[in-house]
Amino acid sequence: MRNWSIPAGRVFGIELRIHLTFLFLLIFVWLTESASHGTANAGRVLALVGMIFGCVVLHELGHALVGMHSGVPAKAIILLPIGGITLLDETQQPMEPGALTWKRDIRIALAGPLVNLIIALAAGSILLAVAPEIQLWAKPFVNSGNLPRSLVWANLWLAAFNLLPAYPMDGGRVLRALFSRHMDPVRATRRAVTIGQAFATAFMLAGMLWNIWLITIGFFLFIAAQLEERSAVFQSVLETVRLEDIMLTDFATLSPADTLEDALEKAVHSLQDDFPVIRGSDMVGVISRQKILQALRAEGNGYVQSVMNRIFEVAQRQESLASAFRKLTARNLSIIPVVEDQRLVGIVTLQNLMHSMALLAESRKLRKAALNS
């Protein structure tokens, strides 16, 4: 999802990105407009698309702000032709049993459509009161020739479409939250995804018979549902992996009294990028190969002690990988020392994480196969 999107600024500190397929919306509106009036007026078409775009952003901000309020900050908003997706930063929150979070999830999901309903109701009642010549009930409801009327109907359409119980649309998220009252989050997501994909398939079939645009909507629903399922499964795997399963136990350490040149010499002979710094048996800091090089270039030789990072987090060997991940990302660290009774027993680094995860997955698979045979 991220790779196909371009950054478009920030709102309330949340990164806003436009998915490249958003261009489809422009083309679509252009085509339907020129089909209905012969030639389309470029300025008005752009104004209509800009207006829908703005309403989608407000919808997503509804999710993001309620999320922030409930302790789940938003990382980014990605705008797709079928609407937007707000990426919530759930890694900052331990995955609690669904029973505790389902109400929160429903609130966050409903906030988006609610924003559109409010816009539609407000704009509709103002128009009826002050500009009846707009003819709110005349067709076509959404067209570039009548922007005020389009504002009302586009928002009603956005609210209705997002309330479909087709995960990952907001209605589907409500459904998943309801499922998660009685089952674990991964199973709840799977069930919601299955229903979402049934909707996606129905859209594509209907599109073949009726309107080609529905095929595109179905296609995006399908892709989006799959992405969401994968991230839910990934999150649950992170919770089941203990640090002792994946930590490096064979690693190099430095002493605060080492000179930077000694440290560099050691770094040359090791595959590690990050080193724990140990005095006696105490962890006193961490330092990266890059930091050693930088310091050597900037100030010449010195001691590890004066350059090392004294602020670091440690983890216990029984801790889950998900919790270590939260610590790493919260402080932007690249290494976590694993301790037992104050003694350093291993390290987990971002660099070796993916590698050890892959190995662990293989070994679990082999063990399962051995059990089944």
- Quote the least distance from Cβ 346 to Zn ion, whole Å: 42
List the x/- string, 108-127, binding to Zn ion by CB under 5 A. Answer: ----x---------------
Q: Which tokens in the block code for residue 64?
A: 């993001």
Judged by CB, which is closer to Zn ion: 5, or 288? 5
Pick the stretch among 98-106, 150-158, 170-178, 193-201 that binds Zn ion (CB under 5 A). Answer: 170-178
Q: Based on the shown chain and the rule CB under 5 A, indicate whether residue 170 belongs to the binding site for Zn ion.
A: yes
Judged by CB, which is closer to Zn ion: 170, or 229? 170
Judged by CB, which is closer to Zn ion: 84, or 285? 84
User: Alpha carbon of 309 to those of 95, 198, 291: distances in Å?
Assistant: 30, 52, 9
Q: Based on the shown chain and the rule CB under 5 A, indicate whether residue 228 belongs to the binding site for Zn ion.
A: no
- Quote the least distance from Cβ 109 to Zn ion, whole Å: 7
Judged by CB, which is closer to Zn ion: 144, or 162? 162
Compute the distance between CA of residue 313 and CA of residue 111 in angstroms, rounded to an integer.
36
- Quote the least distance from Cβ 156 to Zn ion, whole Å: 15
Which residue is associated with the tokens 């301790």? Answer: 339
Considering only CA atoms, which of 94, 358, 329, 95 is closest in space to residue 246?
Answer: 358
In 10 A of CB 307, how many CB atoms? 21
List the x/- string, 318-357, binding to Zn ion by CB under 5 A. Answer: ----------------------------------------
Q: Which tokens in the block code for residue 218?
A: 């179905």
- Quote the least distance from Cβ 45 to Zn ion, whole Å: 25
Q: Based on the shown chain and the rule CB under 5 A, indicate whether residue 185 belongs to the binding site for Zn ion.
A: no
DSSP state of 4: G
- Quote the least distance from Cβ 63 to Zn ion, whole Å: 5
Pick the stretch among 90-98, 168-176, 181-189, 204-212 that binds Zn ion (CB under 5 A). Answer: 168-176
Within 8 A by CB and 6+ apart from 39, the residues are: none
CB-CB contact of 224 with 80 (8 Å): yes
CA angle 278-284-288, nearest 5°? 80
Q: Which tokens in the block code for residue 207?
A: 């599109």
Pick the stretch among 92-100, 105-113, 201-209, 336-344 that binds Zn ion (CB under 5 A). Answer: 105-113
User: Alpha carbon of 318 to those of 276, 322, 345: distances in Å?
Assistant: 20, 12, 12
Judged by CB, which is closer to Zn ion: 82, or 134? 82
Judged by CB, which is closer to Zn ion: 118, or 237? 118
- Quote the least distance from Cβ 173 to Zn ion, whole Å: 8
Judged by CB, which is closer to Zn ion: 164, or 350? 164
- Quote the least distance from Cβ 265 to Zn ion, whole Å: 55
User: Taken in order 31, 33, 39, 41, is the CA torsion positive or negative?
Assistant: negative
Kindly report the backbone phi and psi dihedral angles of residue 311, in degrees, each rounded to the nearest multiple of 5, phi listed first. Answer: -95, 115
- Quote the least distance from Cβ 164 to Zn ion, whole Å: 11
Judged by CB, which is closer to Zn ion: 228, or 258? 228
Residue nearest to Zn ion (CB): 112
- Quote the least distance from Cβ 291 to Zn ion, whole Å: 43
List the x/- string, 124-163, binding to Zn ion by CB under 5 A. Answer: --------------------------------------x-
**Beta-strand relationship, 343-349 and 335-340:** antiparallel
Q: Is 83 exposed, middle or buried (0-12, 13-18, 19+ CB in 10 A)?
A: buried
User: Alpha carbon of 351 to those of 25, 239, 291, 328: distances in Å?
Assistant: 40, 20, 16, 12
- Quote the least distance from Cβ 294 to Zn ion, whole Å: 44
3-state SS, residue 349: strand
199-213 burial string, b = 16+ CB within 10 Å, else e? Answer: bbeebbeebeeeeeb
Binding-residue total with Zn ion (CB under 5 A): 3
Contact set with Zn ion (CB under 5 A): 112, 162, 170
